[in-house]
Structure 1
Amino acid sequence: MDIRFIPQEEIDKQLYNSCVHYATNGSLYGYDWYLNATAKEWDLLVEGDNYVSAMPLPKRRNWLGRTYLTQPTLVPDLAVYSVKPLSPKRIQAFWDAIPESYRGGNLTVEPASVPGHSGRFTVTAARGEALFLNQSYEEITDAFPPGYYDRMARAEAADLLPVPVLKPEAFAEFWLSVHGSGGENEWKFHAMQRIMYQILHRSWGNATGVQTRDGELLAVSFNAYSHGRVFPLFRAESARGADAGAMTLLYDTLLRSHAGRSLKVELLP
């Protein structure tokens, strides 16, 4: 199997993004522009001259200058992206091909990309349940727990209103007000806006919210659409919003508007 290491500055972006786009396990998180906004420093392993398979290697360096794999902030999982079958042999070959200059580190990947032997790396399989939307709204929500309906009842009693469109700046400001400023949150504040504008430029998503009748924003969600999935990339809910069931109403609005479509979305906790 012809697997080559390519440093970040030599990556053919068109070939790489094409691999991620058409991969059987493709994901929004794999595109080069998403990684540039989150990982900053990353290299690549590729199979074949046309990048039929590719594995991004996000990295960090310690104070001694040693290189380690590291999970980028705002990236839940990565993968060995491939338009070929994801056989255990292919997955293991990629992990074995990581240069010795990567001394160790950790990475969370989608389950099919976990190697049989992780060697010097700590590899975690991504978790999370997907909800399929190719049914009626009633069928989708039929088995939801009582707490979901309790929160929906609170939202109805509070007479909340959906906000179909939010600007990235307003979204990020609300997110920061909920999560607090300082430290890593300041970095996230700017990174989220870069990502949102990249997605809006491609017409791949939108920011939505829920507010009170007097215009107080209570919950927000930025949803991106890629690879047959709805990615609720960033969410935030104020304390008053949690009391009123605002995030549940926002999620329910998405379910109602997407029911019957060939999509899947993360199951709301």
Structure 2
Amino acid sequence: MPVRLLRFSELNLAAWDACVAEARPAVPYAHSWWLAATAGRWEALVDVDEATGRYRALWPLPVKRRPGGRQVYQPPFTQQLGHLTHPAAPAASWADETLLSLLTARYTRFYTQLNEANSLPGPGQALAPPAPAALTLQARQTYHLDLSSPCEQLRAGYCADYRRRLRLNEAATAPLRAVELPAVEPLMALFQQTKGPAAGLRPRHYRQLRRLVAALQTRHLLEMRAVYHPLSGELLAGALLVHYRTRLIYLFAAASPEGKKAAAPLVLLDEAIRRHAGTAELILDFEGGMLPAIARFFANFGAVPVPYAALSFTQRPWYLKWMR
């Protein structure tokens, strides 16, 4: 059966999640419960095995309806989506002419962040027609740290200043320690007080995050960690980490000005790295690195940049295409 562009009501969510659960790389953002929390409903390109009903490949397409037509967007708290293939299915390129023609026929505006396994055209190669002339690929990057090595080896990969600050903290009379964060609300409040306005998050985004946290907790995939002031008990820094298959994802974090001065984010991430050190095949995905200062912070843990891409296009709705 050829690849089809399906509306949300046509999707078999059990077959969907079975495909995502086996796909490589591990992309938790594509699970139906993740998308339900962050996007609500979505459409998708799906390759269905006609004999079994199994999904051999899929491409999630969160959609907004606007007066100018249907628009694909990247939901919040969702780093990568793109084309995912079941390991038992034949390999296929996301840049296939058939897939692109289905997308350009339905959507007037399109923006999605592909996953790191979606190979990009090589130098001098163009996307297959009938891709619109305005279709663009924007290079993006995240940072990964392989956690399969022992703790001592991972710490040796930190920059000298990080190792020094951690030694000073450990030698202090009342050192900072990372502990379990019992509830997400204080962390969201801290984020609103520090990063919220600049990050552009609105009340609906915090509602989406609460739904996602609940979905992750139900599936025992969420680690909530915090660093408190040892004397006052003030929340200095906190983070949400998602442990999904071979990924530990640094999903959401915040720190107060006092926490940054005291190196609370450093203590928090070091504790997560030490706790998971020596886990075979586990990768810490810092889920960021587009801003130079953030990239340096992650690289100082020994993390390396991993590229992926954002695919976008804008075209006139069908009823205006005749205009010049």
So what's the TM-score if we normalise by structure 1? 0.89
What letter corresponds to residue 137 of structure 1 in structure 2? C
- 2:55 is the counterpart of 1:51: yes
In structure 2, the partner of 1:60 is: 64
- Residues 90 and 106 (structure 1), Cα distance of their counterparts in 2 relative to 1, 3 Å cut: closer
Q: Report the alpha carbon displacement of residue 12 of structure 1 after superposing the two structures with TM.
A: 0.9
Q: Is 1:187 aligned with 2:204? A: yes
Aligned pair 1:72/2:88, yes or no? no
Deviation at 1:186, TM superposition (A): 2.0
Superposition pairs of residues 95-244 of structure 1, within 5 angstroms = 95-98=100-103, 100-114=105-119, 116=121, 117=127, 119-120=131-132, 121-153=135-167, 155-156=169-170, 157=172, 159-180=175-196, 184-213=201-230, 214-244=232-262
User: TM-score, with normalisation over the residues of structure 2?
Assistant: 0.75
Cα 1:115/1:61, change in 2 over 3 Å:
farther
Taking only aligned residues, the RMSD between alpha carbons, in angstroms, comes to 2.4
Which letter maps to 1:200? Q
Query: Per the alignment, in what secondary structure is the counterpart of residue 113 of structure 1?
Result: coil
Give the Cα–Cα distance (whole angstroms) in 2 for the partners of residues 125 and 60 of structure 1: 24
Supply the AA of the counterpart residue of 2:193. Answer: S
> Contact conserved, 2:194 with 2:256, CA < 8 A, in 1?
yes
Farther-moved stretch of structure 1 (201-210 vs 149-158): 149-158
Asked if 1 retains the 8 angstrom alpha-carbon contact of 2:155 and 2:163, the reply is: no
Distance 1:264 1:94 in 2: 30
Q: Secondary structure at the match of 2:44?
A: strand
The offset of 1:245, in angstroms, is 0.4
Deviation of 1:228 (Å): 0.7
Q: CA deviation at 1:113?
A: 1.9
> Per-residue deviation at 1:94?
3.2
Letter of the structure 2 residue corresponding to residue 54 of structure 1: L
Which has the greater radius of gyration?
2
| 1-structure distance, mates of 2:162, 2:202 | 29
Aligned length: 268
**Mean Cα displacement is larger for which, 160-169 or 239-248?**
160-169
- Greater relative contact order, per chain length (Cα 8 Å cut-off, separation 6+): 2
Q: Residue in 1 aligned with 2:302?
A: none
1:71 to partner: Cα distance: 1.7
Q: Deviations over 1:27-47 (max 9, x none)?
A: 111111211222234201111
Residue 82 of structure 2 contacts residue 112 of structure 2 at CA under 8 Å; is this kept in 1? Answer: no
CA distance in 2, matches of 1:154, 1:42: 49
> 1:3–1:97: 8 Å Cα contact kept in structure 2?
no
CA contact (8 A) 2:62 2:73 kept: yes
Alpha-carbon distance between aligned partners in 2 of 1:76 and 1:30, rounded to the nearest angstrom = 10
**Matched residues in 1 for 2:110 and 2:90: separation?**
23
2:93 touches 2:119 (CA, 8 Å); kept in 1?
no
Identity %: 24
Question: Where in structure 1 are there 5+ consecutive unaligned residues?
Answer: none
Q: Is the 8 A contact 1:207 1:220 kept in 2?
A: yes
TM-superposed deviation, 1:236? 0.7
> Which one-letter code corresponds to 1:40 in the other structure?
G
CA apart distance, 1:222:
0.7
SS in 2 for 1:97: helix
* Change beyond 3 A, Cα 1:72–1:188: same
**How far apart, CA to CA, are the structure 2 residues paired with 1:250 and 1:69?**
36
> How far, CA to CA, are the matches of 2:111 and 2:219 in structure 1?
31
Distance 2:258 2:205 in 1: 23
Structure 1, 181-190 or 243-252: larger mean CA deviation: 181-190
Relative distance call for 1:252 and 1:83 in structure 2 (3 A) is same
Q: How far 1:18 moved relative to its partner? A: 0.8
Q: What displacement does 1:206 show?
A: 1.9
The CA distance in 2 between the partners of 1:181 and 1:25, in whole Å, is 33
Range moving further from structure 2, 86-95 or 38-47: 86-95
- What residue is the counterpart of 1:252 in the other structure? 270
> Displacement of 1:91 after TM fit?
4.7
* DSSP-derived class of the 1:209 partner: strand
Q: Answer whether contact 1:133 1:140 (CA < 8 A) is retained.
A: yes
Q: Deviations over 1:110-148 (max 9, x none)?
A: 233255417234344541121111111111122222232
